[in-house]
Amino acid sequence: MRRHFVMDKRSGINFSGILIGVLVSYIITLLFFIIYALLLTFTSVSEMALPKFTIFVTITGVVLAGALSARNTASKGWLNGGIAGILYIAVMALLGTFLVKEFGPSSSLAVKFLWGAFLGSLGGMIGINL
């Protein structure tokens, strides 16, 4: 018997949808940061806005990952979105570990995972209705 990880009818988890949602969300996140870098380079936009911009882009990315992951599911969009949000934060934490020397496990990382689950679930509730 061949097993496909497209959708498990019992649990309603769409594994391929979650991966695609997170991937597309990271591509859009990357585009946001490229545009911001160009604005910093060629205009008088201050670097002081970077922390707020990073928070905005992260929240948008997590909600978008949740919405995209739940878009093609029949039920449990909140679950698919929550998993996508957690996966988005996990990828960000792994990248942070390799790219930022001061980055490491902390209580703020646990809070980020909770926010990822919450915002991803919110995106999943939105995405299942699109």
Q: What is the pLDDT of residues 52-93, one digit of tens each?
A: 888 899 999 999 999 998 887 778 888 899 999 999 999 988
Q: Give yes or no for a contact between 58 and 119, defined as CB atoms under 8 angstroms apart.
A: no
Return the pLDDT at 107: 67
Return the pLDDT at 105: 62
Name the residue ranges covered by the structural domains of the chain.
15-127
Q: Is residue 97 pLDDT above 90, yes or no?
A: no
The pTM score is 0.80
Q: Give yes or no for a contact between 85 and 119, defined as CB atoms under 8 angstroms apart.
A: yes
As to burial, measured by CB atoms within 10 angstroms (0-12 exposed, 13-18 middle, 19+ buried), residue 122 is buried
Return the pLDDT at 120: 92
Please state, in angstroms and rounded to a whole number, the distance separating the CA atoms of residues 72 and 91: 23
Q: Is residue 28 pLDDT above 90, yes or no?
A: yes
How many Cα neighbours within 13 Å face the side chain of 94?
Answer: 6
